[in-house]
């Protein structure tokens, strides 16, 4: 079970279905990744929601994501999980490269969740989380 991959799949499926918003279970890592996607223009808005009643699980925190469309086409074309729970991929600061697809690579670093450009600027390496384009 990989919550980051589940979130990326929910984003892709939301765009394919033409939805206006999606909701994913809250975690700080997912929230920070989604805030980067908001800042980079892949989603319109990211909101933390307090306790939203669930069916069997009781009340849980959620992240509500307002999807962004440009001329009725999704702003996010695809997303790929790079590190997985069974295979962690780490890069040094000198090994960081930018997305070849014109998107963003997101890393988990000692300075927090950063894009590849920010990690290069801070000269810090870390674990590759995902690539979005």
Each residue's pLDDT tens digit, 91-118: 999 999 988 888 999 999 999 999 999 9
Kindly report the pTM of this predicted structure.
0.90
CA 90 to CA 100: how far, in whole Å?
A: 18
Tokens standing for residue 107 = 């890393």
**DSSP secondary structure of 7-35:** HHHHHHHHHHTT-SEEEEE--HHHHHHHH
* Domains, the chain, with CATH or none: 3-74 (3.30.1370.30), 79-132 (3.30.1490.10)
Q: Which tens digit of pLDDT belongs to each residue from 21-59?
A: 999 999 999 999 999 999 999 999 999 987 755 555 567
3-state secondary structure of 92: coil
Of 85, 83, 74, 81, residue with least CA distance to 13: 74
């Amino acid at each position: 079970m990989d919550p980051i991959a589940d979130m990326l799949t929910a984003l892709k499926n939301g765009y394919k279905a033409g939805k206006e918003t999606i909701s994913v279970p809250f975690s700080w890592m997912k929230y920070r990744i989604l805030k980067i996607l908001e800042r980079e223009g892949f989603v319109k808005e990211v909101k933390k929601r307090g306790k939203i009643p669930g069916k069997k699980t009781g009340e849980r925190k959620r992240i509500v994501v307002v999807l962004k469309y440009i001329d009725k086409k999704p702003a996010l074309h695809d997303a790929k999980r790079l590190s997985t729970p069974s295979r962690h991929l780490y890069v040094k600061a000198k090994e960081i490269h930018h997305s070849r697809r014109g998107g963003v690579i997101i890393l988990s670093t000692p300075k927090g969740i950063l894009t590849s450009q920010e990690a290069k600027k801070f000269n810090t390496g870390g674990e590759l989380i995902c690539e979005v384009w």
